[in-house]
Amino acid sequence: MDLNRIYAPIKKDLDKVEDKLRKNFPATNNFLKKINEHLFRAKTQGKRIRPALVLFSSKISSNSGAGKAHNSSEVISLAVAIELIHTASLIHDDIIDNAIERHNQATLHREYGNRTAILAGDILYAQAFNLLSEIGIPEIVQIMSEAVKKVCLGEIEETRKRESLFVYSSLPRKDILQDVPSEEEYFTIIRNKTAVLMSACCEAGALLSQFT
């Protein structure tokens, strides 16, 4: 799949998102600058699927006549806010999983310690909701708050199941299998951890085009 080709209609806006991402971590000293560089250096950036979903959803709604004229500035802020939320969730997820690498570099907590990484993730959440509040549409703040809550619930449930399996690992296999997630539980976990935020990208992006 050639993402460059898919992203062609929104490339200029994605470039603006990338630039604004780097300006939304308060790099007020050399240590914070290093953290900012670690998080948003170009060579390690992800696919930016979530900002792309925001941009496409807003653009499609505007072009279809379902929304008003496409306001690039506010859409960029929304896309950046959601990517900050996603990045914060990954930082915390890596700590929970004790992950060593992400995007071919050491995870933030491996590089700077758990305490710094947790607080860096918290800063990103705060910056994200600051951007959302500046957009000034309560419905969008509500959509994103609900999405973050469900991401956390998914993480809690996954952690609970994993820890239960670890505790029971010395028991007979039939007892261990009793606490293996059911198919329904598995889909609930991955829906909350991943799909909910992607859905929120599309919903919030389309909704924004109706207000701007």
Residue 121 domain boundaries: 11-211
Q: Is 180 within the bounds of a domain?
A: yes
What is the per-residue pLDDT for 65? 53
**Confidence band for 69, pLDDT divided at 50, 70 and 90:** very low
Structural domain contains residue 67: yes
Number of structural domains, the chain?
1
Residue 6 lies in a domain: no
Q: Does the residue 102 lie in any domain?
A: yes
Q: Is residue 177 part of a domain?
A: yes
Say if residue 110 is exposed, middle or buried (CB neighbours under 10 Å; 0-12, 13-18, 19+): middle
Q: What is the dihedral of CA 14, 18, 19, 21, to 10 degrees?
A: 130
Per-residue model confidence as pLDDT tens digits over 71-120: 689 999 999 999 999 999 999 999 999 999 988 889 999 999 999 999 99
pLDDT at 66 over 60: no
Residue 5 lies in a domain: no
In-domain check, residue 173:
yes
Confidence check: pLDDT of 137 > 60: yes
pTM across the whole model: 0.87
Q: Which residues pair with 105 in a beta bridge?
A: 102
φ/ψ region of 2 (left if φ > 0, alpha if ψ in -120 to 50, else beta) reads beta
- Nearest CA to 72 out of 62, 85, 84 is that of 62
Residue 1 lies in a domain: no
Whose structure tokens read 């598995």? 186
- Domain at 60, CATH number: 1.10.600.10
Q: What is the mean pLDDT of residues 20-24?
A: 91
